[in-house]
Structure 1
């Protein structure tokens, strides 16, 4: 579909949709068969340190089908573990949404549900409530202030919350003047559906000081990685994320990467270690196959862990192991990647790469003391920067990373709940936790892991 005047077409068809449905289900019938929602939408969001509204999105007018195997039940069963609220797109013609999705989701989750549609009539609000919605989206680019006041009053009489969407400075000013309690800055231009993540930054750089104290600011559209969360986290209260999740084959993995980052818990030795790491947000699980390490795990036990906890991406850590030894383990265990933690040179790496499956990633560790060594390696998918004496709970001087592109670096060495917030601001690819989440060397502390990832999510 052409990007030109998409919004005009949507609104024209929405008027027709309203007329058709009014004849099918009268507004009088709806009013007699609905009750106020029991959710206090504003209070729930206000009491959440970092808001994540996860969206059920199947398609869009510009991209077509986003989620090929759209399964609303499977989707929200995952969403409910990580979301503050769940947004459901109900427009049928352009987004392949459905109001019945709200009913289905209401029977599964305990979070409030937002009906996301192009609402221009009071009928749509009553219709949304009939299906179980607890909040609605009002888009300022398609309604004037008088319409907004009428529609918001109807929603509030039903105890429904309102997400007020803006896309530019003028609309943001209107939202403030309309005393909107939750303002969602859409980084997507609804006229042509292009996305610019800087929309949120640009608007708030001008009007941040004019926002009433209790107003909640949400950044929506274009949020597809944890680095963006870190960058916007200082100026907004939360995020609305949809297609960045539903467009991926692995929904759980995409959620964890965006909300928590590409983090790894290394030195896993039990099923419980892996289960807790997976449950609270880790993407990678490190299994150390070097016998000299106190965290060494036998391949048979590692295989047992992977079989029982399959959601983690498992990284085999090797320090000066022979290629034959590495190949033996890769044939026995389905590893996502190999982390070379010793003195492996380029010849070793090249030879190894020829022998392993093309699907297996190769990571290389740099052990750092007083300077960052020159990177001469190739055929490497990711670099791990660690303290020069590994497993000691110590960090190298992170100031050494200034003026260095850290996008392809996993930061390791002495990371824990007390210093991770400093580490994440370096904007590395991810963080590697090991001794900082242990009770003693080699023994993982499950409470520390839980608290660490809860803090990552909420701060």
Structure 2
């Protein structure tokens, strides 16, 4: 376990180096909420930078055993992110340590103490989701010890997955790299990149009747990468 943590720490340093130094890489893309072997085949064909397994209660929820099977079918060049909502620290740590996920996304009410305990137990990079109501929400979140933020739409009583866009004018200049979520679609993908996110996080926009659609995934990945080239990365 100690050796795995060392390797994960090295991997994260490389990841941060890529973010800081490779301006030509452009905006990344994450396809979230994968739950079927067919989803793995679809993303393997177009290789988004990240995919997300949702372990929180959701119609897209997967269990640990099934997620491990899905991960074995995933192209190793694609990073797997585990999405949790107020889960025990041990749950996220265990999935990171066995290699089912490479990054941990916290989409609930997790605070600084939670993040510090998580980082004490695993070297996996942490993404903290912020349900944005105003700019102060984002400023406060940037003080947390996570490596990344994820800016999402605030919906009362819901921890994400609303498919609704928030006011991107609320996003201040940030030191931390951030994922942008909430209603990202083919219609606004270019505008979304003007916010200078590290990564766009997409789920419902690449679904048809509640299931991931391979053609929509292909079109979205191509759109993000093409838009990034047009805007100069």
2:204 is matched with which residue? 435
State whether structure 2 residue 191 is matched by structure 1 residue 422. yes
SS at 1:286 equivalent: strand
1:328 counterpart SS class: helix
Which of the pair has the greater relative contact order for Cα pairs under 8 Å at 6+ separation?
2
Across the two proteins, how many residue pairs are aligned to each other?
A: 200
Deviation at 1:303, TM superposition (A): 0.8
The separation in 2 between residues aligned to 1:325 and 1:306, in whole angstroms, is 17
1:282 paired residue among 30, 33, 48: 48
Q: Give 1:369's match in structure 2, choosing from 133, 137, 143.
A: 133
Q: Structure 1 residue 392 and structure 2 residue 162: aligned?
A: yes
Q: RMSD of aligned C-alpha atoms?
A: 2.0
| Divergent runs of 4+, >4 A | none
- Give 2:63's aligned residue: 298
Quote the Cα distance in structure 2 between the aligned partners of 1:318 and 1:380. 14
Could you tell me which of 220, 224, 233 is aligned with 1:456?
224
- Aligned residue runs from structure 1 range 178-327, under 5 A: 224-226=22-24, 258=25, 261-290=27-56, 292-309=57-74, 310-327=76-93
Deviations 1:36-71 (A, max 9, x none): xxxxxxxxxxxxxxxxxxxxxxxxxxxxxxxxxxxx
Q: Structure 1 residue 285: deviation in Å? A: 0.8
| Preserved contact between residue 407 and residue 429 of structure 1 (Cα < 8 Å) | no
CA positional deviation for 1:364:
0.4
Give the whole-Å Cα distance in 2 for the aligned partners of 1:379 and 1:406: 12
Query: Residue 96 of structure 2 contacts residue 102 of structure 2 at CA under 8 Å; is this kept in 1?
Result: no
Q: State the shift of 1:418 in Å.
A: 1.1
The offset of 1:263, in angstroms, is 1.2
Structure 2: state its 5+ residue gaps.
Answer: 1-20, 228-233
What is the CA-CA distance between 1:372 and the residue it aligns to? 4.2
**Unaligned runs of at least 5 residues, structure 1:** 1-222, 227-257
CA distance in 1 between partners of 2:113 and 2:47 (Å): 36
CA deviations over 1:229-275 (Å, ceiling 9, x no partner)? xxxxxxxxxxxxxxxxxxxxxxxxxxxxx2x6321111011222133
Q: 1:414 and 1:447 mapped to 2: Cα distance?
A: 18
Q: Distance in 2 between matches of 1:458 and 1:362?
A: 28
| Alignment correspondent of 1:171 | none
Deviations 1:392-439 (A, max 9, x none): 2101111112x4227611101111111111001111111101111111
Q: Is the 8 A contact 1:407 1:427 kept in 2?
A: no
Q: Deviations over 1:94-125 (max 9, x none)?
A: xxxxxxxxxxxxxxxxxxxxxxxxxxxxxxxx
SS in structure 2 of the partner of residue 367 of structure 1: strand
Matched, 1:344 2:113: no
